[in-house]
Chains A and B, each alone.
Chain A
Amino acid sequence: MSFSTVLSAAIDGLCVETVHVEADISNGLPVFHMVGYLASEVKEASERVRTALRNSGIVLPAKRMVINLAPATVRKRGSVFDLPIAVAILAALGTIGQGRTDGILVAGELGLDGNVRSISGVLPIVMEAKKKGCHTCIVPAGNEMEGKLVEGIRIIGVENLHQVCSYLTDRREEVLKEQNKRKMETKVEKYPDFEDILGQHAVKRAAEVAVAGGHNLLFVGPPGSGKTMIARRIPGILPPMTREESMEVTKIYSVLGRLDPNYPLIRQRPFRSVHHTVTKSALIGGGRVPMPGEISLAHQGVLFLDELAEMRREVLEMLRQPLEEKLIRISRVYGNYLFPADFILVAAMNPCPCGNYPDFSKCTCTSGQIQQYLGRISQPLLDRIDICVETPKLPYRDLSGSGGEESSGQIRERVENARKQQAFRFRENCIKTNAQMGTKEVKRYCVLRKDGETLMRQAYTSLGLTARTYYKILKVARTIADLDGSQEIKEPHLKEAIGYRTIEKKYWGR
């Protein structure tokens, strides 16, 4: 037999397309020819494969070898094709028997010594293999655990070409025995706990409300007041991820090759802290070949933007669509890419360039400077932040005090309760949290009693609210009521929500 075909897969964004690797060996001038819309790293595979085969003791005959990766319309990128090409050649040579590769998907990178190296994106590849009806996947040993996250398909982790040959020829049992020794381990990772933060009760409360209703949050406070510390603890009070959510997040990290080989499943909600010099494509994803960015890495978790006012405006503007739609669309000439981006935005900023406003004895900024500083944040972005709270500088007593603070677990319990009520409320809608309510839902679910109406009317005129802030206050009040276990929104709920309203630039400053 001088022709063979092996199944593999190409990754494009977060999507996977199965690719047939065909090898044909015929008489003629000895060449090694590869075709099929290949990126340069795939073209280089020919050198790696030939050397790896030779170093594994397999002598290639002086014949004409043609490798085709089909379908020819799909661009093939990455190093996953080394191993399937090698297997296809071995099959064409007859080393591997006929039909042995049927229903098996192969992916992996080869070293010159014949060792199989880890690749990225194994999880989505295995998922796709299962969908396409494969019974087995051969993946690098370093990605074995990752592949095993998918149930109902056999995963064979291989360390070198020898093992692949063994598995696909006669000594299958040996390899399997080796495999069974390795067991999936789970690691329980701990989030930093709210216990460690002394004082700052108002800020903690705001964080609790934000998480309970899925609201975006803005901290305003002087440098060193613990904005980052608190933000880091927010994923810990979110309800634990479901298996489905976990897999979604793991898939993103898999494509980027950022999984721990021993504990591949991400069960901890991500916390992504982004520096203010971040570029557009690093934040939302992109590149010539679009890859998920920070907002997708923060999927199901928290995206923390420190020094919000220092960030470039056009970068912040990019966040508008993902905050609204919970996903990001990136369009390129050769296709559209969709990356999930469902996160809670936590932003932090100083109240003024020097950070001391409104402490007039320390603040050295002019009102013009403060206005200019605040002006850097785009209003549309502020419009998507429901809760704004000040993080004060800690008094000494709070620094030296010890214990007695609520733990993340206690807060999470309340959050989960509030989330349950929301799940019940929105069981017929396609939204999950209060923050996602549109005008229609607000009108339906945030009904006020008479005293609440009066309060809001008064607030609307005397505080100069806009329609948008008005709705935001109602949404936050709904969450606060949920936390209280209250069916209706009462006056104290509204008042607290008003206290959290986002800064209105024109009312700020001297």
Chain B
Amino acid sequence: MMYEYWLAVLPGISDRRKKDLRDHVGSARKIFFSEKEAAQQLGEKERKALEEGRKMSPEKIYQEFEKAGIRFVPWFSEQYPSRLKRISAPPYAIYVKGALPEEERLSVAIVGARLCTPYGEQMALEYGETLAAAGIQIISGMARGIDGAGQRGALNAGGTTYAVLGCGADICYPRENFGLYTDIQKKGGILSELPPKTEPRPYFFPARNRLISALADLVLIIEAKEKSGSLITADFALEQGKDVYALPGPVTSPQSQGCHRLIAQGAGILLNPQELLSEMGVSHIKIRQIANKPKKMLESTENILYSCLGFTPKGVGQLSEETGFSSRKVLEELVTLELQGEVKEISKNYYVRIR
């Protein structure tokens, strides 16, 4: 088995060639020891890569996997997700920290812009919560913005979520999502097709996106600009025959342009999480009442202020103008609301509503 690890992490030979080679020679062990047989199958460059690769110690590689607590699931393994087998370029192996998505359970990908608006973030959170509460597995990329919010939502609802990374599964990227990284390992898993210790590179991410859509039965695009990585995911999803849903936003918001384009091209439209669930044929079990959080009785001045707030950030000056309260009063009440968890300060003195 050690040699399988070795073959999987061997650089310089494409996944497809590795697969062919292994099919032909029989096993990774044979490839490691019988130089001639393996060499016949390969081109000049690949032969060199193999020669170089032989200098690595399979034992060491194996031990490192053990140490990092990373599971190795090659394509011939029984555990290899069948969803991945169906795509055009399945990865040679998947490296996992935590669990793999369950085969029988529905899974939904929630993806979107890293640069999201508070509205998008909130919606991602909500969809994550509701879908996960209904027992659906949430797949995403653990990126800043929408991805992270969707997964955080799933965790909040006590559901399972899986992150596919554009770097080794032992690396937390982006660093600020470290909390998410550890939590996902407990309630789901961190997946990657890249060997451990691989640093994130821009060109890894589009390839990563094909796995996100592959692992999901349905792809939700929450927010995407006109040119966005999320649209690459949507393209992969369509290629793989998955349904794509997009969330509408204000037509003036650049962060929703990509979504609107998708809807215009025939993508499903996300009206609310419940509707999506019934469309998917899932009777949604209300583990927790999430979408319609019982509205707290807010004192009247707070109520006026609260009703002026939305998902577009508003400053103290603007709110004071809209409500007619003095700026001092507005600031005081905003702090009250903030302490009650009703609003959030996203930049200095700029507030948005939470739900």
Output the least CB separation between A367 and chain B (Å): 5
Is B264's beta carbon under 8 Å from chain A?
Answer: no
B144 touches A390 (CB 8 A): no
Partner of A367, one of B144, B254, B328, B336: B144
Rounded to whole angstroms, the CA-CA distance of A493 and B339 in the bound complex is: 15
Instruction: Kindly identify, within residues 449 to 475 of chain A, every residue whose CB is under 8 Å from any CB belonging to chain B.
Output: 455, 458-459, 462-463
B347 touches A202 (CB 8 A): no
A366-B115, A499-B349, A510-B121 as given contacts; A392 in contact with B336, CB under 8 Å:
no
Closest to A360 in B: B117
A358 touches B144 (CB 8 A): no
Is A361's beta carbon under 8 Å from chain B?
Answer: yes
Is B315's beta carbon under 8 Å from chain A?
Answer: yes
Output the least CB separation between A160 and chain B (Å): 60
Is B341's beta carbon under 8 Å from chain A?
Answer: yes
A503 touches B114 (CB 8 A): no
B316 touches A390 (CB 8 A): yes
Write out the residue numbers on chain B whose beta carbons fall within 8 Å of the beta carbon of A495.
Answer: 331-333, 335-336
Is B348's beta carbon under 8 Å from chain A?
Answer: yes
Is B345's beta carbon under 8 Å from chain A?
Answer: yes
Rounded to whole angstroms, the CA-CA distance of A389 and B327 in the bound complex is: 12
Interface range on chain B: under 10, 10 to 19, 20 to 34, or 35 or more? 35 or more
Is A498's beta carbon under 8 Å from chain B?
Answer: yes
Q: Among the listed stretches B55-63, B83-91, B157-165, B317-325, which one makes contact with chain A, having 4 or more residues with CB under 8 Å of it?
A: B317-325
Write out the residue numbers on chain A whose beta carbons fall within 8 Å of the beta carbon of B347.
Answer: 220, 351, 357-358, 390, 508
Is B150's beta carbon under 8 Å from chain A?
Answer: no
A360-B254, A496-B328 as given contacts; A199 in contact with B144, CB under 8 Å:
no
Output the least CB separation between A232 and chain B (Å): 20
Write out the residue numbers on chain B whose beta carbons fall within 8 Å of the beta carbon of A351.
Answer: 347-348
Is B222's beta carbon under 8 Å from chain A?
Answer: no
B317 touches A496 (CB 8 A): no
A499 touches B341 (CB 8 A): no
Rounded to whole angstroms, the CA-CA distance of A459 and B339 in the bound complex is: 6
Is A71's beta carbon under 8 Å from chain B?
Answer: no
Write out the residue numbers on chain A whose beta carbons fall within 8 Å of the beta carbon of B345.
Answer: 507
Write out the residue numbers on chain B whose beta carbons fall within 8 Å of the beta carbon of A503.
Answer: 348
Is B199's beta carbon under 8 Å from chain A?
Answer: no
Is A395's beta carbon under 8 Å from chain B?
Answer: yes
Is A275's beta carbon under 8 Å from chain B?
Answer: no
Output the least CB separation between A91 and chain B (Å): 67
Output the least CB separation between A356 and chain B (Å): 11
Output the least CB separation between B255 and chain A (Å): 6
Is B253's beta carbon under 8 Å from chain A?
Answer: yes
A390 touches B328 (CB 8 A): no
Is A284's beta carbon under 8 Å from chain B?
Answer: no
Is B291's beta carbon under 8 Å from chain A?
Answer: no
Write out the residue numbers on chain B whose beta carbons fall within 8 Å of the beta carbon of A455.
Answer: 339
Rounded to whole angstroms, the CA-CA distance of A499 and B348 in the bound complex is: 9
Please indicate which of the listed interface residues A359, A462, A500, A510 has the most CB atoms of chain B within 10 Å of its own CB.
A510
Closest to A508 in B: B347
Is A492's beta carbon under 8 Å from chain B?
Answer: yes
B145 touches A367 (CB 8 A): yes
Instruction: Kindly identify, within residues 474 to 499 of chain A, every residue whose CB is under 8 Å from any CB belonging to chain B.
Output: 492, 495-496, 498-499
Is B252's beta carbon under 8 Å from chain A?
Answer: yes
Is A187's beta carbon under 8 Å from chain B?
Answer: no
B326 touches A510 (CB 8 A): no
A202-B320, A462-B341 as given contacts; A361 in contact with B349, CB under 8 Å:
no
Please indicate which of the listed interface residues B145, B333, B334, B349 has the most CB atoms of chain A within 10 Å of its own CB.
B349
Write out the residue numbers on chain B whose beta carbons fall within 8 Å of the beta carbon of A500.
Answer: 331
Is A80's beta carbon under 8 Å from chain B?
Answer: no
Question: Which A residues are within 8 Å of any B CB, using their own CB?
Answer: 199-202, 205, 220, 351, 357-361, 366-367, 388-390, 392, 395, 455, 458-459, 462-463, 492, 495-496, 498-500, 503, 506-508, 510
The 4 A-B pairs at the shortest CB distance, nearest first, are namely A390-B349, A202-B327, A499-B331, A495-B332
* Additional A-B contact list (18), CB under 8 Å, known A367-B145, A390-B350: A201-B327, A202-B328, A205-B327, A220-B348, A220-B349, A358-B313, A358-B350, A360-B312, A367-B144, A390-B315, A392-B318, A496-B335, A498-B339, A503-B348, A506-B176, A507-B345, A510-B121, A510-B346
Some 10 contacts from A to B, beta carbons below 8 A apart, are: A202-B327, A351-B347, A358-B346, A366-B114, A367-B145, A390-B347, A390-B350, A495-B331, A495-B333, A510-B116
